Amino acid sequence: DTAVSQTPKYLVTQMGNDKSIKCEQNLGHDTMYWYKQDSKKFLKIMFSYNNKELIINETVPNRFSPKSPDKAHLNLHINSLELGDSAVYFCASSQIRSYQETQYFGPGTRLLVL
Amino acid sequence: DQQVKQNSPSLSVQEGRISILNCDYTNSMFDYFLWYKKYPAEGPTFLISISSIKDKNEDGRFTVFLNKSAKHLSLHIVPSQPGDSAVYFCAAAGSNYKLTFGKGTLLTVNP
């Protein structure tokens, strides 16, 4: 009964490919997030959705597109993968849209672009 | 521009002693601060938080201290246990709904 789950856990792919990472939360939360942890270990927010509406969209390349089919799911699609996209991607959720709400993180997806 | 800095990449302490993890921030608009703990191959988990209207928050063995004038916060773990060995991330937030994380400090508690 994992609270926030991500698939796949590992993803190895060639430059130029298109890939998707899926995230699901069973906590009944309204808000979901995508974070990227790069080689320098910083965790940086990429996107946030509240009730399927995009509320945070950081400066990320257009090749990254989040999609929220419903409140419990937030998927991340990446087009034309580049070497610099190699990182760990974390999905998270919180009950409501508030920075004082605890965010619950998934286990991460380790993406390696060759 | 690192708005949240954890200048010690690692810290090693003996079991039973105090662990002190430090964090500095530069953005005066931050008014809420959190610590997350992360084990290898897992996502971060929330540990403790503090609002800028307080200077101390305690939860069991964990205490967070906030010094607003110095833009500094610290996490104290007393007594430290081997199971506390993990990466600890400091995070800060303001009204823009975003969490800004530091790079993390790897804490190793030796038995």
Distance from the B98 Cα atom to the nearest Cα atom in chain A, whole angstroms: 6
- pLDDT score for A1: 63
Question: Domain ranges in chain B?
Answer: 4-110
State the average pLDDT over residues B35-64: 96
Residue-wise pLDDT tens digits, A85-110: 999 999 999 987 777 788 999 999 99
Q: Into how many domains does chain A fold? A: 1
CB-based burial of residue A43 (10 Å sphere; 0-12 exposed, 13-18 middle, 19+ buried)? buried
Among A44, A55, A90, the residue with its CB nearest the CB of B97 is A55
Decide if A5 touches B, using CB distance below 8 A.
no
The CATH number, out of the four listed (2.60.40.10, 1.20.1260.10, 3.20.20.70, 2.60.120.10), of the domain defined by the range B4-110: 2.60.40.10
Distance from the A37 Cα atom to the nearest Cα atom in chain B, whole angstroms: 9
- For residue A58, pLDDT beyond 90: no
- CATH code assigned at A77: 2.60.40.10
Chain B contacts of A44, Cβ < 8 Å?
Answer: 101
Residue-wise pLDDT tens digits, A2-51: 799 999 999 999 999 999 999 999 999 999 999 999 888 889 999 999 88
Distance from the A42 Cα atom to the nearest Cα atom in chain B, whole angstroms: 5
Decide if B95 touches A, using CB distance below 8 A.
yes
Q: Domain span at residue A56?
A: 4-113
